[in-house]
Amino acid sequence: MSQLAHTRPRSVAEIIDASFRFYRAHFSNLLVVSALLLVPTALLSAIVPGPFQRVIQVVDNWMYLFLEGAIAVLVAAALERGEALSAGEVFRALNGRWGKVIGASIMSGLMIFIGLVLLIIPGFIAASWTAVAVPVAAIEGLSSSPAVERSRALARGRMGHVLGTVLLIWLIVITLVFGTAILLGMLVAMTGIPERLSDMIGELVMIPFFPLIGIAVTMLYYDLRVRSEGADVAAMIDALPATPAEPA
Top pLDDT among 147 and 4 is at 147
Percent of the chain residues topping a pLDDT of 70:
83
The pLDDT score that the predictor gives to residue 209 is 92
- The candidate with the shortest Cα–Cα distance to 23, out of 180, 208, 231, is 208
Mean pLDDT of the chain: 84
Whether the per-residue pLDDT at 231 is higher than 70: the answer is no
Distance of alpha carbon 239 from alpha carbon 233, whole angstroms: 10
Top pLDDT among 112 and 184 is at 112
Q: Which residues contact 41 (CB under 8 A, 6 or more apart)?
A: 56, 59, 60, 63, 203
- The candidate with the shortest Cα–Cα distance to 116, out of 105, 129, 104, 127, is 127
Distance of alpha carbon 75 from alpha carbon 62, whole angstroms: 20
For the residues 167-179, what does the mean pLDDT come to? 92
Q: What is the pLDDT of residues 147-167, one digit of tens each?
A: 999 999 999 999 999 999 999
Of the pLDDT bands very low, low, confident and very high (cuts 50, 70, 90), residue 230 is: confident
Of the pLDDT bands very low, low, confident and very high (cuts 50, 70, 90), residue 247 is: low
Contact 223, 169 (CB under 8 A): no
Rg, C-alpha atoms of the chain = 20
Whether the per-residue pLDDT at 71 is higher than 90: the answer is yes
For the residues 95-115, what does the mean pLDDT come to? 89
For the residues 216-225, what does the mean pLDDT come to? 95
Cα angle 125-221-223, degrees, rounded to a multiple of 5: 105
The pLDDT score that the predictor gives to residue 199 is 66
Q: How would you label 90-123 residue by residue, b for 16+ Cβ within 10 Å and e otherwise?
A: bbebbeebbebbbbbbebbbebbeebeeeeeeeb
The pLDDT score that the predictor gives to residue 150 is 95
Whether the per-residue pLDDT at 81 is higher than 90: the answer is no
Residue type, 173: V
Q: What is the pLDDT of residues 14-66, one digit of tens each?
A: 999 999 999 999 999 999 999 999 888 888 877 777 777 778 878 888 888 88
For the residues 89-109, what does the mean pLDDT come to? 90
Distance of alpha carbon 100 from alpha carbon 158, whole angstroms: 25
For the residues 217-227, what does the mean pLDDT come to? 94
The pLDDT score that the predictor gives to residue 5 is 53
Contact 168, 132 (CB under 8 A): no
Q: How many helices (H) and strands (E) does the chain have?
A: 13, 0
Distance of alpha carbon 29 from alpha carbon 67, whole angstroms: 12
What distances in angstroms separate CA 219 from CA 6, 102, 199, one per listed residue? 14, 20, 32
Instruction: Give 154's Cβ-side CA count (13 Å radius).
Output: 29
